[in-house]
Amino acid sequence: MIKNGTIVTATDVYQADIRVKGEKIVEIAEEILPSAGAEVIDARGQYIMPGGIDVHTHLAWPFQSTGTADDFESGSKAAAVGGITSIINFTNPGKNQTLIENLREWKEKAKISAIDYGFHSIINEYSDEILEELPVLAKEEGVTSIKLFMAYKGELMVNDLEMYKIMKKAGEHGIVTNVHAENGDIIDDMVAEAISKGNTDPIYHAYTRPAELEAEATARALSIAEVANAPVYIVHVSCKEALEKVEMAKKRGVTAFAETCPQYLVLDESYLALPDFEGGKYVCSPPLRDKSNQEVLWAGLASGSLSTLGSDHCPFRFEGQKTMGRNNFSKIPNGVPGIEDLYSIAFQYGVQEGRISLQKFVEITSTAPAKLFGLYPNKGSVAVGFDADLVLVDPNRTRTITAETQYQNLDYNAYEGREIQGVLTHVLSRGDVIAKEGKFTGELGRGKYQYRRAFHSSLLGGSADARSKQKSTI
């Protein structure tokens, strides 16, 4: 039982008691008397919110000749402590591996997870056979989202025609296509030019990936999705120029959604210029942008043109991983950590500093990701019948983010020293208290694979089937 707390959903804020039985919320009422022997948490003065759903994580991810520093053990503990109770992680198929074979491998890797998990299947090499796997992936495996890259040529990138064919098939089966939108061809040329001129410092990572090339690729992906009649989700929107393309596409009726990440909301390009290669810690793609973009992105979250907040948790240790690029920024593995701090950063800079409402906070961290990626109505709200994935936040207490106490397997924290007014006192996953006062109290291996439903736009406030709006004439 959780008594005396203030429940927050994407639409409401009200005081009530909650009864949990097994894994589910079974009763919510003004006053519930605890049954004999019930464990009672007194949540007076605290918010009770649905567990965070981070749909953009790279745990145990092989990338750029190295691998991310967090696996499903350290990563899921860090997530739990940070209020994240479900993740959708990216796979990464090897050469000539089928998507299904690859998924099996990833399910094995994730078995140790302390929190619930699903996967977006990355397609890094087009083939006609892969198209045939998509319906099987969705129906039999519950993988109802894929990911395509428009950058990282030779490693992940697909071309426009491949993207069109994949999206078309995905759209027919209610599969959402995540897109990393940056113009990889031009970026590679700009990177080579910078290096040839001896411009090797981390700041050149930003200079060689300009906002215009993110906007161009974003517009292209949206147009391709529009013609392919497919739902599309633009990951990690970092700048005003790309957000404008999303807004334009939404206005003309494209089934388009977009995400931003905490790093684009509170960090900026100047971090890349920090001395002594400190800037290397902040190399991610798209790169951190000019500070003026931050308020634009917050406004996008507030207005709904950005639907979700994902961490893009792609962690590399400073010593030994980031330092691989000490003399050449293009060798710095791309990615920043965020799974442990996403929820707190959004609460502090969003809610506490008045940029978004409590309800909007819940919408972007839980409800919208659940609806978009087929986890609703098990996850994404505080309501009877939902999984008891709950975060209790005391908004009157503060804590300071520091690498010294983090669960992320890293030697730095991108948000070091930031003060958060809001302590996560309890985190529950399907009724188990998995974190308490910043300490992991759960068990490894208790996380469950989530078979996800196909995309349906009516959940997101669209027509019964937005796809019918975009009539095909062939």
Contacts with ligand DUC by CB under 6 A lie at: 58, 180, 284-285, 312, 314, 334-335
d(CA 244, CA 417): 33
- Count interface residues toward Zn ion (CB under 5 A): 2
Residue 70 binds to Zn ion (criterion: CB under 5 A): no
Smaller CB separation from ligand DUC, 203 or 314: 314
Closer to Zn ion by Cβ: residue 180 or 467? 180
Treating both helix axes as pointing N-terminal to C-terminal, what angle do 160-172 and 211-228 enclose, rounded to 10 degrees? 50
Q: Cβ closer to Zn ion: 89 or 144?
A: 89
- Min dist CB 235 to ligand DUC, Å, is 7
Closest Cα to residue 399, out of 448, 370, 439?
Answer: 439
**DSSP 8-state symbol, 449:** B
Distance CA 382, CA 9 (A): 6
Closer of 237 and 249 to Zn ion (Cβ): 237
Q: Taking CB within 5 to 8 Å according to partner kind, which of Zn ion, ligand DUC, none is near residue 348? A: none
Determine the interface stretch with Zn ion among 226-234, 244-252, 312-320, 387-395 (rule: CB under 5 A).
Answer: 312-320
Residues 6 or more apart whose CB falls under 8 angstroms from that of 266 comprise 294, 345, 349, 415, 418
The nearer residue to Zn ion, 269 or 312, going by C-beta atoms, is 312
CB of 290 to ligand DUC, least distance (A): 18
Query: Cβ neighbours of residue 223 under 8 Å, at least 6 residues apart?
Result: 249
Between 151 and 170, CB nearer to ligand DUC: 151
Nearer to ligand DUC, 340 or 394 (CB): 340
Chosen from Zn ion, ligand DUC, none, partner binding at 334 (C-beta under 5 to 8 Å by type): ligand DUC
Rounded Cα–Cα distance for residues 471 and 474 (Å): 9
Q: Which is nearer to ligand DUC, 154 or 198 (CB)?
A: 154
Query: Near Zn ion by CB under 5 A, which window of 135-143, 172-180, 184-192, 412-420?
Result: 172-180
> Which residue carries 């007194």 as its tokens?
42
- The nearest distance, CB 139 to Zn ion, in angstroms, is 26
Pick one of ligand DUC, Zn ion, none as the site partner of residue 6 (Cβ within 5 to 8 A by kind).
none
One of 180, 240, 452, 467 touching Zn ion (CB under 5 A) = 180
Question: Which residue spans within 360-465 are E strands per DSSP?
Answer: 390-400, 419-429, 432-436, 439-440
Q: What contacts 317, CB < 8 A, 6 or more positions away?
A: 69, 409, 410, 411, 412
Q: How far is the CB of 286 from ligand DUC (least distance, A)?
A: 7
Q: Which does 284 bind (CB under 5 to 8 A by kind): ligand DUC, Zn ion, none?
A: ligand DUC
φ/ψ of residue 413, rounded to 5: -135, 130
Q: With CB under 5 A as the contact rule, which of the stretches 6-14, 21-29, 307-315, 434-442 interacts with Zn ion?
A: 307-315
Under the binding rule (CB under 5 A), the answer on residue 312 touching Zn ion is yes
Name the pairing type of β-strands 84-90 and 116-122.
Answer: parallel
User: What is the three-state SS of 121-150?
Assistant: EECCCCCHHHHHHHHHHHHHHCCCEEEEEC
> Does the footprint of Zn ion cover residue 379 (CB under 5 A)?
no
CB of 37 to ligand DUC, least distance (A): 47
**Residue pair 382/9 in contact by the 8 Å Cβ criterion:** yes
Residue nearest to Zn ion (CB): 180
Query: Considering beta carbons, is residue 46 or 177 the nearer one to Zn ion?
Result: 177
Burial class for 354, CB neighbours closer than 10 Å (0-12, 13-18, 19+):
exposed
The H or E element that residue 251 is part of is helix 240-251
Interacting residue ranges for Zn ion, rule: CB under 5 A: 180, 312
